[in-house]
Amino acid sequence: MTDLLAMPDDALVRVLALLPPREVFRLRLVCRRLRDLSLHPDVWRSVSLRGGDQGLLQAALRLAPCLRKVSLRSPHLQAAACTVCNSKCVVTDLKLSVQNETDAAWATAIVQRLSTLGGLREITLLLNPAAPDALHPLLRMVYCVQDLRVLRIRINSDMSELPPLLSDLEPRPSLTTLHYEGAASDPFLCFLLRTHAATLEDVDLYLKDGLPTSLLKSLPRLRSLTCFPTDDLSQLKSLPNLETLGLLDLEVQDAPCPGTVDFLLQGPRLRHVEFHLKPNRPIVGAALLEALAQSPSAPVLERLSLKGVGEWPVAAALHRFPSLQALALVLDAMPSDDFFRAVSPASTPRLATLQLVPHGCPHAWLHDPAVQDVLARNAGLHLRLSGPPTLEDDCACRWCLWRCHRDELRTHAGLQSAFSAHTRRPGCPRDCRRWL
């Protein structure tokens, strides 16, 4: 303790920031200096707490100057609301799970108090079925939070009859990221898109019934859009700054939506595309990939992430994407040797990262001749394993039985490394690891 107190204040604050919050509170009792330094904002700026540890959360809300994130669920909302009413703790990220009308009232009080303290930049709301009238005060309060940057909402209620949310003091446009899950485009979503049209950049819309295309077209800074495949996408072909598109297919479709295909064929020049499709409908994935390969995006596409698309359409389309730098595939089986042969300096000259799901023992998979061959032929390629993969203690593959690399893979990032045929050099990932 004497050596610890000999440190200067700024160094001591850094040490305290590495301790668990409960230990920081215990150190407050040692001396006046630690009492004061333990409440320094830098000690608490990156701390995240949950309502389950009720005593610790209440102590932090009463004493700490700030917190990075607070997550609260139904049983803890009332206690947190009673503590927050007299708190001066600035919370940056707030996550609330609301189960009923009572929860909605307590959540409204929490948002109101934390917004008045300033510093609230992210809000996540998980709203289970409830009457729109019960959720109206909470949504109105969230809508009026000033300088909010990120808003994530999941609503499991029909919000089509939601009362107007306009207030005397409308918030300044500030949202840059909006994640919205609901049955359809409802009044609250329209208010958000209209109010923050000047600042929104990333929009994720999990809407089962269409898109608010007229509002999305009025977002001049929109650069990332995630949604279900829908015919409405064809109306967004003129978005000037859109660079990232995610298609998340949760509905049964036997053929691709013509509007989605038309958007890919004639839409903006995309640099990052993700298909998250059902694996039992390969025709849909193949048609969407073919449309992308024929589009103006093909020459400039840099990142491609595919789930639900067979390996053969991917292998056939690789040469259409000369600027591709990262490719991630989720397949039901290990890619064939023909697929690995299709990955070559001629077809993918700029490919730096190939991410695949290992099937079976990942250790044995890394020793597969096709895997080693693709690394040897592509000098700048890094192979990553999705998962995260793990090594089983009782694995019976010959490589684990021989203990080849086994202990080594359990340390130094292990299977999380970026495997390559070269030693780490400028431009490589930090975890680049020579495998051959």
In this model, does residue 328 exceed pLDDT 90?
yes
Give the pLDDT band (50/70/90) at residue 254: low
Q: What is the 3-state secondary structure (H, E, C) of 80-111?
A: HHHHHCCCCCEEEEEEEEECCHHHHHHHHHHH
Burial of 29 (0-12, 13-18, 19+ CB in 10 A): exposed
Q: Which of 334, 335, 333, 229 is nearest to 318 (CA)?
A: 335
For the whole model, what pTM was predicted? Answer: 0.89
Question: Which of 176-185, 252-261, 375-384 is predicted least confidently?
Answer: 252-261
What whole-number distance in Å separates Cα of residue 193 and Cα of residue 199?
10
Report how far residue 174's alpha carbon sits from residue 176's, in angstroms, rounded to the nearest whole number. Answer: 6
**pLDDT over 90 for what percent of the chain?**
60
User: Residue 204: its pLDDT value, please?
Assistant: 96
The residue among 133 and 236 whose pLDDT is bigger is 236
Cis? peptide before 388, omega within 30° of 0: yes
> Quick one: pLDDT at residue 248?
86
Asked which of 135-144, 168-177, 196-205, 415-424 is least confident by mean pLDDT, the reply is 168-177
Dist. CA 188–CA 385, nearest whole Å: 40
pLDDT, average across residues 108-128? 94
| Angle CA 392–397–403, to nearest 5 | 75
CA–CA separation, 121 and 41 (whole Å): 17
Sorted by where each starts, the structural domains of the chain and their CATH numbers stand as 1-43 (1.20.1280), 46-354 (3.80.10.10), 358-435 (no CATH)
Output 88 or 406, whichever has higher pLDDT.
88
Q: Is the pLDDT of residue 1 over 80?
A: no
Tell me what the pLDDT averaged over the chain comes to: 89
The residue-averaged pLDDT of 362-374 equals 92
Confidence of residue 93 (pLDDT cuts 50, 70, 90): very high
Whether the per-residue pLDDT at 53 is higher than 90: the answer is no
Contact assessment for residue 59 and residue 89, using Cβ atoms and an 8 Å cutoff: no
Instruction: Convert the pLDDT of each residue in 210-240 to its tens digit.
Output: 789 999 999 999 999 999 888 889 999 888 8
Over residues 75-81, the mean pLDDT reads 91
pLDDT digits (tens, 9 = 90+) for 151-201: 999 988 766 666 666 555 677 899 999 999 987 778 889 889 999 999 999
